[in-house]
Amino acid sequence: MGRIGVLLLNLGGPDKLEDVRPFLYNLFSDPEIIRLPFSWLQSPLAWMISSLRAKKSKANYQQIGGGSPLRRITEEQASALEDKLRQQGHDATVYIGMRYWHPFTEEAIAQIKRDRIEKLVVLPLYPQFSISTSGSSFRLLEQLWDKDPALQAIDYTLVPSWYERSGYLRAMADLIADEIDRAPDPDGVHVFFSAHGVPVSYVEEAGDPYQREIEDCTTLIMQTLNRPNEYTLAYQSRVGPVEWLKPYTEDAIEDLAAQGIKTLAVVPISFVSEHIETLQEIDMEYREIAEEAGIEHFQRVAALNTHPVFIEDLANLVTDAIDSPAIQFSEVIRPEKNMKMYPQENWEWGMTTSAEVWNGRLAMLGLIALLVEILVGRGPLHALGIM
Ligand SMILES: C=CC1=C(C)c2cc3[nH]c(cc4nc(cc5[nH]c(cc1n2)c(C)c5CCC(=O)O)C(CCC(=O)O)=C4C)c(C)c3C=C
Ligand SMILES: [Fe+2]
Ligand SMILES: [Fe+2]
């Protein structure tokens, strides 16, 4: 077997407060996150939303020490995985390609070319597939491949999702069991899975398998845990005015408290590292909501980070992927063409000339409203909590 490259894909996060606004700009420039009827609107809108959201987002990053730990943790995971693969006798190098911040996917690809990698396993660090996460990174890679014969010469395979793997499930169950056993009444602990949300339109219109995969994943983790504890699945971190997957985490916490539940073990389930939504949103915001609602023990299950069972499973996943038929870009799920996506659910698509004219007018009105909101610092986006 020739030289193996493993490309770990991840979201990326601002290393320091000055990075927050440009990081958000990159995120909102992604048509897989916000798709607009006119591509020329993407950059100005991304600029405006990122400028408006930066203040709130910076305050959150400030609360966790002024930046995201994602780069450091992903580097630790990459180096643990590389060590494990080498111990198993593989001449493997692990690369990190972040979607919205350093080290960018393009930088990883440039290094992969310089290293003359012959066999590449593309492995997103998202256990479940979403159009907005793994799908977006695959789309970016596909664009790079389309224009580069050197990349086309690499024998690559994609791993769309991997939440069913037994090592991953065992590592998650271990961490949950640790937390349950710490509680005063272990059997009374309510296991609370909090998944990152996506807008409902992703699932219902674009065909995103994310919700189904998350639901399957929680069932499999509970089977692996094999304890009598009750459990709930809810969705956190919504952004913007559209409807996201329900129940929302804060509502589900309040419902459980109203039912008399006293202990929650909150399990972050969409992501394998600590990041802003575990350290700030769960540990600070949801804790406060829970305690106010009457939850007496609000416990949070740690993220996998470099859990040895998890890293070993990732190494096996890489070798399994090499031994299986390759999965190409054309085989992964992508949103249907002309699919409506966040945040313009109510806009008509330009199927007819008159719709097109109205789209243009609405887009201009929206743009003007956003400009006014930036200037005055108040408006519907602030009211809805986007900024
Ligand atoms: C599987 C995980 C994730 C999904 C699905 C996802 C979808 C999604 N996210 C946004 C908007 C934002 N995400 C932000 C940060 C962020 N998102 C994820 C993961 C998923 N996102 C992570 C791990 C992080 C944090 C990285 C870090 O710095 O630690 C942010 C920025 C932070 C903030 O301002 O709140 C935004 C904005 C949308 C719109 C979306 C689906 C359409
Ligand atoms: Fe996100
Ligand atoms: Fe958040």
Ligand 1, atom 31, lies closest to the CA of: 24
Contact 190, 293 (CB under 8 A): no
Q: Quick: pLDDT tens for 71-105.
A: 999 999 999 999 999 999 999 999 999 999 999 99
Q: How far apart are CA 52 and CA 21, in angstroms?
A: 9
Q: Tell me the pTM.
A: 0.89
Before 268, cis peptide (omega within 30)? Answer: no
pLDDT (mean) for 148-161 = 98
Q: Cα of 223 to ligand 2 centre, how many Å?
A: 28
Ligand 1 centroid from CA 348, angstroms: 27
Q: How far apart are CA 312 and CA 83, in angstroms?
A: 10
Identify the CATH number of the domain defined by range 166-300: 3.40.50.1400
Helices and strands per DSSP (H, E), number in the chain: 15, 8
Q: Phi and psi for 92 in degrees, rounded to 5?
A: -120, 145
- Backbone φ and ψ for 111, nearest 5 degrees, come out as -70, -40
Strand partners, 192: 232, 266
Give tens-digit pLDDT for 313-324. 999 999 999 999
What's the pLDDT tens digit per position in 130-148?
999 999 999 999 999 999 9
Which ligand has the minimum distance to the alpha carbon of residue 276? 1
Which atom of ligand 1 sits closest to the CA of residue 69? 29
CATH topology of domain 4-163+307-333: Rossmann fold (3.40.50)
Complex-level ipTM: 0.91
Say what the pLDDT of residue 347 is. 35
Is 211 touching ligand 1 by the criterion CB < 6 Å? no
Are the C-beta atoms of residues 321 and 157 closer than 8 Å to each other? yes
89 C-alpha vs ligand 1 centroid, how far in Å? 36
Q: Which residues pair with 267 in a beta bridge?
A: 193
Closest atom, ligand 1, to C-alpha of 281: 35
Structure tokens that stand for 252 in this block = 């589900």
Q: Ligand 3 centre and the CA of 57: distance in Å?
A: 8
Tens of pLDDT, residue by residue over 46-55, are 999 999 999 9
Question: According to the model, what pLDDT value does residue 328 have?
Answer: 97
The Å distance, Cα 358 to ligand 2 centre, comes to: 31
Q: Tens digit of pLDDT for each residue in 336-372?
A: 655 555 553 333 333 333 444 455 556 666 776 776 6
Instruction: Specify the pLDDT at position 110.
Output: 98
pLDDT tens-digit profile of 206-219? 999 999 999 999 99
What is the spatial distance between Cα 236 and Cα 276, in angstroms, rounded to a whole number? 12
The pLDDT of residue 311 is above 80: yes
CB of 275 shorter than 6 A to ligand 1: yes
Q: Write out the binding residues for Fe(2+).
A: 196, 277
Measured in degrees and rounded to the nearest 5, phi and psi for residue 155 equal -85, 100
CB-ligand 1 contact for 269 (6 Å cutoff): no
CA Rg value for the chain? 21
Q: Which of 277, 283, 285 to mutate to test the pocket of ligand 1 (most atoms within 8 A of CB)?
A: 277
Query: Which residue has the CA at smallest separation from atom 38 of ligand 1?
Result: 33
pLDDT at site 334: 81
Q: Where are the alpha helices (DSSP H) in the chain?
A: 20-28, 42-63, 70-87, 105-114, 134-146, 149-152, 166-182, 200-204, 210-225, 249-258, 276, 287-293, 308-323, 353-376, 380-383
List every span in the chain annotated with CATH 3.40.50.1400: 4-163+307-333, 166-300
pLDDT of residue 340: 52
The pLDDT, as a whole number, for residue 385 is 60
**C-alpha–C-alpha distance, residues 108 and 110, integer Å:** 5
Residue 235 CA to ligand 3 centre (angstroms): 11
Listed residues: CB within 5 A of ion ligand 3: 237, 281
User: 270 CB under 6 A from ligand 1?
Assistant: yes
pLDDT score of 128? 98
Three-state DSSP at 122 gives strand
Residue 3: what pLDDT? 87
Helix ranges (DSSP H) in 324-352: none
